Structure formats: structure tokens, C-alpha cells
Structure 1
Amino acid sequence: MSTAMLEMVDVEVAYGRTSVVHGVSIAVPDDGVAAVMGHNGAGKTTLLRAAVGLLPVRSGRIVLGGEDVTKLAPHQRVRRGLAYVPQGQQSFGQMTTMENLQLVADGKPNGVTLVDEALDLFPALRDLLGRRAGLLSGGQRQQLAIARALVTEPRMLILDEPTEGIQPSVVTEIENTILALTQRGGLSVLMVEQHVGFALNAAHRYYVLASGRITAEGTGGVDAVTGVRAAMAI
């Protein structure tokens, strides 16, 4: 994991004339996980939206798989292997679980296989394939959102608060899935996460963001928890 799948270099992002992210640089290792932590209002989601292309950068560069994608539209970044799961367990509520998955699988020659592989990662969804997504629990909807993103065959997966409002047992399932995916190779993950223990257990690199600036960074793992909590003053 010496090279980076995604790099954000001296990135500044603004809403109108107001800068929200100030000269931030992060790197997501190949086949690894990077976590961005910080309190509400720190600029975490803004940073992710810039990585995806939903917000333009005022300055700096975004590099995906060695290619400068700073000027590319979101759909162009998706074609290059980026997938984004926004905050809030988003799904198409009137569609069934299976229809949500088929929506992204349609048109792919291996779509059936990709759906089956996604369901292997979240087996609880198999019993819910005929249920409308709007009737699923928050944890089930989050699993569906991640499974749907994986059907697109990303090499770079971006997750915004994947454990927010989810029961601990499902948090463990999501963590185990993320670890299994990166360990088998071919996928890197960038996530924003408030759950410090979860984030550091999954992450190879971490960054603490405060007022739009990196205030601490380092190598992940449980040994980093104390330092991160101190940096976040919690």
C-alpha cells in the first residue's frame, strides 16, 4: 500500500465566497482505508463532495488512480471507478431491495453475478429482496446502499458516515465487510466517520479535520484511539 488510489492535494473548497475546506491534503492507499474524523461542521462532507465532483474546488488537485480528475464531472469520475454512498442510508424507497440492486446492475454483462456477490457480503438482505426499501430498518438500508454501490464495481468507494444511527450489531457487519473487501484487493475506501473506534479499526490512515483544516493525521489501528480523541478534544 505504498501508492495512493485517491489523492487530494492542497484542496480548497468554498460555498460562494466562504471557504470551508482550507488547503487539505489526504491520500487513500491502494487496497486500503482512510478515515476522516471530526466534529459536525468541520468540513468532512464538503471534502467528500469535492472528491466526488459534486462541489468544485477553488484550488488544489484531485487525483484518482494516477489521473488528475479535478475538472471532471461526477459521472466521468464514476466511469473511472469511483462510487459514493452519501450520508443517511439513501435508497429508492418505493422500489424493492432487489429493484434497487438491479437498477445499477442492468446493462452490465455480469450484472447477475455482481448482485449475487453483493448479497453474499450482506446476507441479511437476501430475506428482504421483495420488501420495499422504504420499509427497511436504518441498518438494512445502509447495507443496501453499500451493496448497490459495490454492484458498480468501484475501485474507489467513498462512504459518508456509514454507521450513523445504526445498531451496534450492524456496525460490526459493515466494518467486517469493509475490511474483507480491502483485504481481497481491488478496492480502496475513503470514509467520514464519527465512531472513532470503528474508524481506526478499519483505517490504515486517519485524518482529523477541524474548521476545514487537518489538525492531526497518522496510521490507523486501536493504538491511535487515544491520540485521535485528544485531537478531537472528546
Structure 2
Amino acid sequence: MLRFEDVHAGYGRSTVLHGVSLAVPNDGVAAVLGHNGAGKSTLLRAAVGLIRLRSGMVLLDGEDISRLAPHERVARGMAYVPQGQQSFPHLTTSENLRLVADGRRGGREAMAEALDLFPALRELMSRRAGLLSGGQRQQLALARALITRPRLLLLDEPTEGIQPSVVAEIEQTILSLAARGGMSVLLVEQHVGFALRAAERYYVLEAGRVTSTGDGGAGAEGTVRQALTV
């Protein structure tokens, strides 16, 4: 579905990614793990076109999308959920969702499907997003992305800074999305156990380089934790 081939990227004069190559399987999950500052968020921003590559390629279904604008990548089926439980704080939950759904073919049905995945949002439709808890805002951010019915979902630390009860719900939703097929996921995550349960393939980033990779699953946890302590 998505491939990075020898990607170098960064900000200003600073190069953050140094020759990164990785692949996200069709209808599957690839997880990227690493410490803060390893380049994980930069990787997602490069995938969605928010920063330009210095060299290398990003390919979606075999097409080089490295020069496409972010909205052109979205039109090809990409959806990006950045860190920080982002929403429009002065709009209600309902208004946040309708901004994505209205005018989109099948948008209302997709909105209903997203609410089925996050039923707690149904009781918060009239509440301003800025008054929601961090976990509720993250559910809202995920629901907004899913309304677009993406073929490729990019998730940046979806469980960061969220109360444990909501973390479990978000984890279960992502696992169920991965299991039902029809969508690929590139998951950046620091919770190693969850990431490996979800992922078919994992990549460990260190200082902008892939230092370890392998098949996902619980059996890989020891290897990954060792790679993260090196």
C-alpha cells in the first residue's frame, strides 16, 4: 500500500530522516516505534506531504506521490491523525464531525459508522470539543478521519496522554479496524505491546534511521524492547 524508499527529509538545514525504507502492507498494519526525537512524527508528515523530501520516494499503490500536495494525497485515500487530539475547540462534537461528512458522498452513513465505533461520542454531540477530555478528543479525531473512509490511515501516538480506560477502547477499535480489512494503517506508537498486537510488521527508528525490523506479534516484544534500549 505505502512504501518509503531511501527517504531523507527534515526541517531547514536539519536532516531528520536518513535513508528510511519501509512498507505498509495492503489491508494490514505497520508499526513504527522509537524514543522521542527518533523521527517518527517526521516520517508521517513526509508521508502525507507536510514536509518535502530531500531525496528518496514515497509510493502509494506503486505511484510516486512524493511531489503531490497534501490534499492530493488525501484524495487518493490517505487520512492523517496527528498527535494532540486535534479538533476545532469552539465547535461542538457534532459540528466537528459534520464538517467532514457534509458534502461528501455517503458522508452521513460514514459518520454513523464512525459513531458506532466510538459510541461515547453520541452523548457528547452538543458539547464543544474544547470541553472534552483528552481521550474524548482523541476519539473525535479518529472518528473525523474515519468518515473519509480512507484506504490508508496514518496515526501518530493515538494513545498518548490518555486515561487508561479510554486507551483500552482506542486500542480495541484500531485492532478491530485492522482485523476487518479494507484499510491499511501506519501506526506510530510508544506502547510496544499494543503496537505489536496490531502490526504485521514493525520498524524501530533511532536518530532517523531504521535500526530494527521484523514481523509483529507478541513474540517480537522482547526483541523490540531490546532494540529500544540500545
Class of the TM-score when normalised by the shorter of the 2 chains:
over 0.9
The aligned residue for residue 17 of structure 1 is 13
Give the match for residue 165 of structure 2.
Answer: 169
Matched, 1:131 2:127: yes
State the distance in 1 between where 2:105 and 2:21 align: 37
Alignment of 1:54 onto 2:15: no
Map Cα deviations across residues 80-131 of structure 1 (whole Å, 9 max, x no partner).
Answer: 0000000000011111111100001111131111110000001111111111
Secondary structure at the counterpart of residue 58 of structure 1: strand
- Cα offset, 1:9, TM superposition: 0.8
One of 85, 89, 95 as aligned partner of 1:93: 89
Secondary structure at the residue paired with 1:31? coil
Instruction: Find the counterpart in structure 2 of residue 216 from structure 1.
Output: 212
1:68 to 51, 59, 64: 64
SS of residue paired to 1:9: strand
Q: TM-score, normalised by structure 1?
A: 0.96
For 1:9, the aligned partner's letter is E
2:54 and 2:105 mapped to 1: Cα distance? 39
- Which of these residues, 107, 110, 117, is aligned with residue 111 of structure 1? 107
Is 2:67 the counterpart of 1:43?
Answer: no
User: C-alpha deviations, 1:46-96, integer Å up to 9, x for none?
Assistant: 111000000001111101122110110000000000000000000111111
Secondary structure of 2:53 counterpart: coil
Secondary structure, in 3 states, of the residue corresponding to 1:206?
strand
Alpha-carbon distance between aligned partners in 1 of 2:86 and 2:15, rounded to the nearest angstrom:
28
Query: Match of 1:109, SS?
Result: coil
The TM-score with structure 2 as length reference comes to 0.98
Match of 1:93, SS state, is coil
| Paired AA for residue 195 in structure 2 | A
Task: Determine which of 190, 201, 207 is the counterpart of 1:205.
Answer: 201
The amino acid across from 2:158 in the alignment is P
Unpaired segments ≥5 residues, structure 2: none
CA distance in 2, matches of 1:202, 1:185: 12
Amino acid of the residue matched to residue 189 of structure 1? Answer: V
The equivalent of 1:230 in structure 2 is: 226
Contact 2:178–2:198, Cα closer than 8 Å, also in 1:
no
Query: Hey, what's the Cα distance between the residues in 1 that align with 2:65 and 2:17?
Result: 18
- Kindly report the root-mean-square deviation, in angstroms, between the aligned alpha carbons of the 2 structures: 1.0
The percentage of aligned residue pairs carrying the same residue is 69
Aligned partners of 2:96, 2:125: CA distance in 1, in Å? 9
Cα distance in 1 for residues equivalent to 2:189 and 2:3: 19
The ranges of structure 1 where at least 4 consecutive aligned residues each deviate by more than 2 angstroms after the TM superposition are none
SS in 1 for 2:50: coil
Pairing 1:130-209 to 2, within 5 Å after superposition:
130-209=126-205
Q: May I ask how many residue pairs the two structures share in their alignment?
A: 230
